[in-house]
Amino acid sequence: MFDGLDVSKAHDLHPPGMNWDFVKRLKDTMKMKLVIKGIVTREDAALAMEHGVDGIVVSNHGGRGEESLRSTIECLPEVVASLRGKDPSNG
């Protein structure tokens, strides 16, 4: 499907303004639910809750998005434990 696709000039796939402040501003300016995908650590799960997200998706984007090389299933217990049974949208 991607044969012949030239990605040689793609250096940074993350927009420079994508940070937790942006997530908070986005959440504060819209009425729809905000779900963040790509959470793989207890620290990011806590930050997601702190910034008011309505849900999180534990995913390592097929191993391309993070450096530990852990599978998503290996990350899941850490993220779930950090939430301590809390629903992200209810803190």
Round to the nearest angstrom and report the end-to-end CA distance of the chain.
42
**61 assigned to active site:** yes
User: Which residues have a Cβ under 8 Å from the Cβ of 75 and sit 6 or more positions away?
Assistant: 40, 41, 58, 60
Determine contact, residues 35/70, Cβ cutoff 8 Å: no
Determine contact, residues 39/45, Cβ cutoff 8 Å: yes
- Catalytic annotation, pick one of 11, 14, 51, 61: 61
* Residues belonging to the active site: 61
